[in-house]
Amino acid sequence: MPELPEVETVANTLRPLIQNAIITNVWTSNLRMRSQLSEIDKQLLLGKKIYGVSRTGKYLILELFEWYLLIHFGMSGRLIVAKNLQEKEYITKSLNHIHMYLNFSNKFVLLHDPRRFGGVRMISRINIKTPADLSALLNLGLEPLSDRFCANRLFKMTRGVTRNIKIFLMDGKQIAGVGNIYATEALFRAGIIPTIACFKLSISKCSQLVACLKTVLSNAISKGGSSLRDFSGLEGERGSFVDEHLIYGKKESCVICNTELVKKTIGQRATTFCPRCQR
């Protein structure tokens, strides 16, 4: 599932391609997604200009004058850019799961989503002036790369919370955009065991965790995200942060102390940790 760095990577690569471009056509498949554009939405989008491309949580935002067009990638969604009609025809013929495309005169942006957990929706900008204001409406938690996410804040947020820190980090209503990969990596780097109850984290542990999460996310953005099964960039390129994973997806022993890693299911997600380095 694409997490914050992967969606940020998509926003960064899509921006120069469609900023200031005009939507000339919109197409959707008849198959059900978590949410999809209506016929009215599609009419509203015609002739509209893209003023910006950004991200909040795991949502990609196309900024129009009166609307935000939001794309969520669910489990397996990704965007593919076709540079001309021939390329678009070739992609739609060779891939079965294109569920939406936007046409910008010669260019096409196609949404490919085999599992259809993703969605597309429009939100009026009347009461929402900036993309950052969308987070309240979407019920998203703190942006982990913002200054508001700091040790004191995490310490306060976790008081009285008995569930474990791994599940807390992956709860988008608390912290936006963090999934299994970056929660697992941040906890390893901070030396915190994923099963610890949140309220047991000291202020210094909170401080380590905040720092490690920010570092892991920013490094991943600079490397174009982590490509595993589900994510690749707009032209199929792979994100290279996967080469810097210290623990996610590893089976052998700990890179620091050589102890055998432990694999456990936490909140239905596979979690790997080092029983010696993480306490």
Amino acid letter, 11: A
Angle subtended by helix axes 151-158 and 203-222, to nearest 10:
120
* 257 touching Zn ion, by CB under 5 A: yes
Residues in CB range of 59: below 8 A, 6 or more apart: 7, 70, 71, 72, 134, 138
Told to judge if 156 belongs to the known catalytic residues of this protein, a careful annotator would answer no
Instruction: Select 138 or 246, whichever has its Cβ closest to Zn ion.
Output: 246
Residues in CB range of 279: below 8 A, 6 or more apart: 191, 192, 193, 196
* 276 touching Zn ion, by CB under 5 A: yes
Instruction: Select 109 or 274, whichever has its Cβ closest to Zn ion.
Output: 274
Instruction: Select 121 or 189, whichever has its Cβ closest to Zn ion.
Output: 189
Told to judge if 148 belongs to the known catalytic residues of this protein, a careful annotator would answer no
Task: Looking at residues 197 to 256 of the shown chain, list those that interact with Zn ion (rule: CB under 5 A).
Answer: 254, 256
* 277 touching Zn ion, by CB under 5 A: yes
- Helical residues (DSSP H) of 122-202, grouped into ranges: 134-137, 151-158, 165-169, 180-190
State the catalytic residue, choosing from 5, 42, 55, 58.
Answer: 58
Location of structure tokens 């990638």:
73
3-state secondary structure of 64: coil
Q: How far is the CB of 189 from Zn ion (least distance, A)?
A: 11
State the catalytic residue, choosing from 3, 6, 8, 143.
Answer: 3
- Count Cβ atoms within 10 A of the Cβ of residue 72 and give its class: 0-12 exposed, 13-18 middle, 19 or more buried: buried
Q: How far is the CB of 275 from Zn ion (least distance, A)?
A: 8
Told to judge if 2 belongs to the known catalytic residues of this protein, a careful annotator would answer yes
* 274 touching Zn ion, by CB under 5 A: yes
Q: How far is the CB of 245 from Zn ion (least distance, A)?
A: 15
- The token pair at 212 is 């490690």
* Residues at the site binding Zn ion, with contacts judged by CB under 5 A: 254, 256-257, 259, 274, 276-277
Enzyme catalytic residues: 2-3, 58, 269
